[in-house]
Amino acid sequence: MSLLRLAWASLANRRLTAALAILAIAMSVALLLSVEKIRRDARTSFTNTVSDVDLVVGARSGAIQLLLYSVFRIGDATNNVSWQSYTEIAARPEVRWTIPLSLGDSHRGFRVLGTNEDYFEHYRYGEERSLRFATGGPADGADGADDGAFGDLFDAVLGSEVARTLGYRVGDPIVVSHGTGRVGIVEHDDQPFRVSAVLAPTGTPVDRTVHVSLEGIEAMHADWRGGARVPGQSTDPDTLRAADLRPRAVTAFLLGLDSPRAVLRVQRAINAYANEPLLAVLPGVALRELWNLVGVAERALLIVSSFVVVAALVNLVSVLLASLEERRREIAILRASGARPAHVFGLLSAEAGLLGLGGIVGGLALHYALVLVGGVWLEKRFGLATSAGPPAASDWMVLGAILVGAVLVGCLPAWRAYRHSLADGMTVRI
């Protein structure tokens, strides 16, 4: 019978206190792993959202704010970019493509994005992946010809999450609200849109976006002046289809350039643009700024969860120390059977190690349960894609450190048991 089996049997004999000590460690491990995972997944998720975009351009504000509202649909823009500035910059020779973005409306809590066909062609996420239509799409017009995703003025392309949550199919009508609140205060119910396509899931904010054409946004606001509806006025859809709906402004736009070398030059030109105060940012740089900002909070969370782990280890020591009194007899029997003090020491350390290991395994299980359950919620609430992948190398190091920590703190009760076993001799206390 090996020492480890003996430790195991002894633990099994005190399974309630052992289980509680394991639970404490498991919960702390799960907390630590989950905090780390959310941190990493948030970064991956954000990084994955913009791929292949050289510059993000908007009205002058902060780089982080621009990135957040334009790409991640978080927060709102303070100002717009005039259509003229947009066309002038888009016409620069270095520019390969542009994606105009017009924000400010919503549909039942999901943002509505006005853009054009270039969005579906040039937008990239993850590892240079382009958007795919799950149902409907360019060749799905009434005539079967390729008339683009926005073949009709009132065509809307839904992100996968929008379609799934609200149960929309291609052909369904939708009504867009003014403003971005969860419940639209004023509805554009005079101009109903029609779902023309649903995009395949991307794990980015695209999934939670309702895409319409820039002209669609204009049409929606045709009877509106100064943020309110003109009473009694309602232009019928066919008149609007025939009207000139050239947008007056966009909220922001994404730029793709011919060569990476042109990025800084174009950025300087836009930031020094004379007609209007504009801001161009490199997504990577803005993201780094964002991480610097949230890094403080992340570190605070990490420190708190580390303390929870330490608390669990302290609890482990107290459980082991409390068990020593009732185990003096057990230790005396072992000593009488020839166990050396080293064996007693090893037994207690092995026990601490087993409890630590149990806590780690339990913590991993709890962590994955959390990821599976909480991941759905995170994705829904924040569009944060989480994946239940294997622990990262840094996680293994943390887990290893916790195990070593458990064995180390187990040395305190082990040392006390050792001292007892020397002092008690063969006197067996009952």
The verdict on 337 binding another protein (CB under 8 A) reads yes
Three-state helix/strand/coil letters over 32-83: HHHHHHHHHHHHHHHHHHCECCCEEEEECCCHHHHHHHHHCCCCCCCCCEEH
299-to-185, 302, 306 alpha-carbon distances in Å? 39, 5, 10
319 part of the interface to another protein, by CB under 8 A: no
Neighbours of 181 (CB within 10 A): 10
Q: Is the dihedral of CA 371, 376, 381, 383 positive or negative?
A: positive
Which C-beta is closer to another protein: that of 257 or that of 334?
A: 334
Measured in whole angstroms, the distance separating CA 274 from the mean position of its chain's CA atoms is: 38
Task: Give the residue with the Cβ less far from another protein, 98 or 349.
Answer: 349
Sign for the pseudo-dihedral over CA of 256, 262, 266, 268: positive
Indicate whether 330 belongs to the interface with another protein (CB under 8 A).
yes
Judged by CB under 8 A, how many residues of this single chain contact another protein?
24
The Cα 121–Cα 102 span in angstroms is 17
> What is the gyration radius of the CA atoms in the chain, in angstroms?
31
Shortest distance, CB of residue 10 to another protein, whole angstroms? 6
Residue among 297, 336, 373, 401 that touches another protein (CB under 8 A): 336
**Of 131-139, 170-178, 215-223, 419-427, which part binds another protein (CB under 8 A)?**
419-427
Phi, psi of 99 (to 5 degrees): -125, 110
Contact status: 246 vs another protein (CB under 8 A): no
Q: How many angstroms separate the CA atoms of 57 and 269, rounded? A: 12
With CB under 8 A as the contact rule, which of the stretches 10-18, 129-137, 304-312, 401-409 interacts with another protein? 10-18
12 in contact with another protein (CB under 8 A) = yes
Task: Report the nearest approach of another protein to the CB of residue 13 (Å).
Answer: 4
Output the smallest distance, CB 348 to another protein, in A.
Answer: 15
* Listed ranges 317-325, 352-360, 386-394, 421-429: which one lies at the site for another protein (CB under 8 A): 421-429
For residues 39 and 298, the answer to whether their CB atoms sit within 8 Å is yes
**Diameter over CA atoms, the chain:** 103
Cα torsion 159, 164, 165, 166 to 10°: value is: 90
**Least CB distance to another protein at residue 11 (A):** 9
Residue whose CB is less far from another protein, 342 or 393: 342
| Interatomic CA distance for residues 287 and 42, integer angstroms | 11
Nearest approach, Cβ of 358 to another protein (angstroms)?
A: 17
CB of residue 333 to another protein, shortest distance in Å: 6
Report CA-CA distances (Å) from 103 to 60, 100, 178, 205, 213. Answer: 16, 10, 10, 13, 11
Residues contacting residue 178 through CB under 8 Å, at least 6 positions apart: 104, 105, 184, 185, 186, 187, 188, 224, 227
Q: Binder to another protein among 39, 111, 188, 343 (CB under 8 A)?
A: 343
- Return the number of the residue (2 or 275) whose C-beta is nearest another protein: 2
Measured from the CB of residue 339, what is the shortest distance to another protein in angstroms?
A: 5
Told to check if 350 binds another protein by CB under 8 A, we report: no
Segment interacting with another protein (CB under 8 A) among 3-11, 245-253, 264-272, 374-382? 3-11
Q: How far is the CB of 413 from another protein (least distance, A)?
A: 18
CB of 318 to another protein, least distance (A): 22
Alpha carbon of 261 to those of 60, 184, 238, 257, 272: distances in Å? 23, 44, 47, 9, 18
In the complex, minimum distance from the CB of residue 396 to another protein, in angstroms, rounded to a whole number: 33
Burial of 296: CB neighbours in 10 Å, binned 0-12, 13-18, 19+: exposed
Q: Does 419 bind another protein (CB under 8 A)?
A: no
Choose which of 126, 201, 341, 391 interacts with another protein (CB under 8 A).
341
Tell me: does residue 329 bind another protein (CB under 8 A): yes
| CA dist., res. 242 & res. 248, Å (int) | 17
Beta carbon nearer to another protein, 9 or 145: 9
Q: How far is the CB of 340 from another protein (least distance, A)?
A: 4
Residue 427 lies near another protein (rule: CB under 8 A):
yes
Q: Quick one: which of 264, 333, 401, 404 contacts another protein (CB under 8 A)? A: 333
In the complex with another protein, the residue whose CB is nearer, 76 or 424, is 424
Q: Going by C-beta distance under 8 Å and a sequence separation of 6 or more, which residues neighbour residue 138?
A: 120, 146, 147, 148, 149, 151, 197
Structure tokens at 384: 């944060």
Q: Is residue 430 involved in binding another protein (CB under 8 A)?
A: yes
Where along the sequence are the contacts to another protein (CB under 8 A)?
1-2, 6, 9-10, 12-13, 329-330, 333-341, 343, 425-428, 430
